[in-house]
Structure 1
Amino acid sequence: MSHKENAKTSKIVIFASGSGTNAENIIKFFQKSRNAEVTAVLSNRRSAGALKRAHDLNVKALLFDKDALYNSHDVLNILKDMDPDLIVLAGFLWLFPTNIIKAFPNKIINIHPALLPKYGGKGMYGSKVHESVIDAKEKESGITIHYVNEKYDEGQTIFQATTPVNENDTAETLAEKIHELEYRHFPEVIQQLLEKNN
């Protein structure tokens, strides 16, 4: 049996700027799977908890700066060497560069903590999103998983899940509901995309 006929293990690379709870959840989900694995977590912040979580779970953790992402092509070259089947943005706050998007067409996805196209765009992340949803007296919020294009939060939607917004919800309580949706659905959607592409 040739090597190509063996079931290929899909490779996932995660980009994260923050505490990394979604990254950790995805890593752990795929550590139980034989078909895919997270091979690296990349971050633009030295203090990002995502790097420590990756390191603690024996996943390669890499730090990069703006120049490496936008000017020198260092991040692009690292990704080409890694040859991921899917690049996952899990709380990554910089706009993804066009050269990487072109090099990995339909292989870069993001999660947003609201029901796009509402409450998306530059500067809309974390508690800012939840505060805006509550201020607008929305009856529901949720998550959107979408492909990444050259504009913040405007790529094609892959999946949405909703949660009710109650009158007594605060940005903090709404964030907890959104996190639950993220942890439940994000790894499963990643798995479905990988299965579809293989």
Structure 2
Amino acid sequence: MRRLKLGVLISGTGRTLANLLRLTAGGELPAAVSVVVSSRPDALGNQIARDHGIPLVVVDARKVRDIETFSDAVYRALDEHKVDLVTMAGFLRRILIRPDYQGRIVNIHPSLLPLFGGKGMYGERVHRAVLAAGMKVSGCTVHFVNEEYDAGPIILQACVPVLEDDTPETLAARVFAEECRLYPEAIRLYAAGRLRLEGNRVCILPEPGLEG
């Protein structure tokens, strides 16, 4: 299993970034965060990158509105740090997918896609929609990123129950606990070369030596 250089894209609190850093520091993830790219100069997660001495590049989405210009700025940072895998961690701006990054950008979404995904569906909005729909289960999805919001090939999903007395906050906490487990598992599979894209499907290959 190779050790990956990760580029982490953030727009908010950086909770997922913090989880990845905890796991890499503890040797539980075969990776190191090489650069953090933030779409907001005031994102709380920026300070997490600074506190860990990780290069931080801010591409202000409120000032750089053209998607090509914005995408180019993000890729310059990723190229400079020679990242192997890009992990979106609460990143709220769409980017164009450069050909050499196809199958190298992943995201985690706090619902069971394709339900409750798409533009504007993030954070508490997702959990409110789940509760309003009367769902009995929710969960999270790790997927490869394409140029549509939350529409790329699904790698892994995990379910959590929706309880009768749930609020958006209690449901969010239960889903985030699964995100903290599922996202690293997807990264491990990628590092082990066990993810194969077949059209819009992701096949998880068996561990070497366990075929058949």
TM over 0.5: yes
> Hey, what's the Cα distance between the residues in 2 that align with 1:78 and 1:15?
11
SS in 2 for 1:37: strand
SS in 2 for 1:74: helix
Where does residue 42 of structure 1 map in the other structure? 37
Residue 70 (str. 1) matches residue 65 (str. 2): no
Structural RMSD (CA): 1.9
> Hey, what's the Cα distance between the residues in 2 that align with 1:194 and 1:69?
29
SS in 2 for 1:98: coil
TM-superposed CA distance for 1:167, in Å, is 1.1
Between Structure 1 and Structure 2, the one with more helix by share is 1
Where does residue 18 of structure 1 map in the other structure? 12
After superposition, where does 1:31-110 map in structure 2 within 5 Å? 31-33=25-27, 35-66=30-61, 67=64, 70-71=68-69, 73-99=72-98, 102-110=99-107
Where does residue 143 of structure 2 map in the other structure? 146
> Do 1:130 and 1:174's aligned partners in 2 also have CA atoms closer than 8 Å?
yes
> Hey, what's the Cα distance between the residues in 1 that align with 2:128 and 2:30?
39
Structure 1: any 5+ residue segments left out of the alignment?
1-6
Structure 2: any 5+ residue segments left out of the alignment?
196-212
Q: Which residue identity is paired with 1:129?
A: V
TM-superposed CA distance for 1:69, in Å, is 6.1
Work out which of the residue numbers 169, 188, 191 in structure 1 matches 2:188: 191
TM-superposed CA distance for 1:179, in Å, is 1.0
> Hey, what's the Cα distance between the residues in 1 that align with 2:77 and 2:57?
10
> Hey, what's the Cα distance between the residues in 2 that align with 1:188 and 1:8?
14
Identical residues among aligned pairs (%): 36
Residues matched between the structures, number? 190
TM-score w.r.t. the length of structure 2 is 0.83
1:156-177 alpha-carbon deviations (Å, 9 max, x no partner): 0000000000111010100010
SS in 2 for 1:71: helix
Where does residue 126 of structure 1 map in the other structure? 123
1:66-116 alpha-carbon deviations (Å, 9 max, x no partner): 4386317232222222221100001000112233xx231100000000000
> Hey, what's the Cα distance between the residues in 2 that align with 1:153 and 1:122?
8
Q: Which residue identity is paired with 1:22?
A: T
TM-superposed CA distance for 1:53, in Å, is 0.8
SS in 1 for 2:108: strand
Q: Which residue identity is paired with 1:70?
A: E
